[in-house]
């Protein structure tokens, strides 16, 4: 009872993958801002793997959906769409 109610454990040393969805979305937006060039894409995907180690495209997809739900500005949504498209194209390359 004390552990659950009196002094519940606080998270520490967590990972980017455990962030709340709005923080994750902002992180993906940062990736879209920070890696705007095509040649940056491998590094951008490396960053997206911090959010979703198994499926970076899913991280970009989810950020786009959450960004829309949270009412991100059109400029930011454009950045997210751009990143999503580039990751998708990169993933479909042979």
Partner 1 sequence: MKDHRPPLYLFTGIIIGVLVGLLITYVLLPVRYTNTAPDTLSAAQKEIYRSLVGRAYLYEADSGRAFSRLALLQDNDLNTALVAQSQQLAAEGTDLLSARGLALLASAMTQPGLVITPLIGVTPTAAATKSQPATRTPAPTPTSPPAITATTPVHVTRTPVQPTSTPFATFTPRPSATPAPTQGAPFQLVSKSGDCDKNPRGALLTVNVLDASGNGLPGVKIEISLPNGGSEDFYTGFYPEIGEGYADYSMSPDITYSLRVGIGGEPVVGLQLPQCNGSAGQSYTVDLELVFQQ
Residue ranges in contact with partner 1 by CB under 8 A: 3, 8-16, 18-23, 25-27, 29-31, 33-38, 47, 50, 66-79, 81-82, 85
CA distances to 15, 16, 24 from 12, in Å? 9, 12, 17
Closest separation in Å from C-beta 57 to partner 1: 17
Whether 64 contacts 87, CB under 8 Å: no
Closest separation in Å from C-beta 29 to partner 1: 7
Nearest to 32 by CA among 54, 53, 63, 66: 63
* 46 vs 55, beta carbon nearer partner 1: 46
């Amino acid at each position: 009872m004390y552990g659950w109610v009196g002094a519940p454990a606080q998270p520490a040393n967590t990972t980017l993958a455990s962030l709340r969805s709005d923080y994750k979305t902002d992180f993906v937006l940062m990736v879209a801002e920070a890696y705007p060039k095509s040649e940056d894409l491998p590094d951008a995907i490396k960053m997206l793997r911090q959010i979703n180690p198994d499926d970076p495209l899913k991280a970009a997809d989810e950020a786009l959906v959450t960004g829309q739900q949270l009412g991100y500005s059109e400029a930011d949504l454009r950045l997210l769409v751009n990143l999503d498209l580039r990751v998708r194209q990169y993933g479909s390359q042979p």
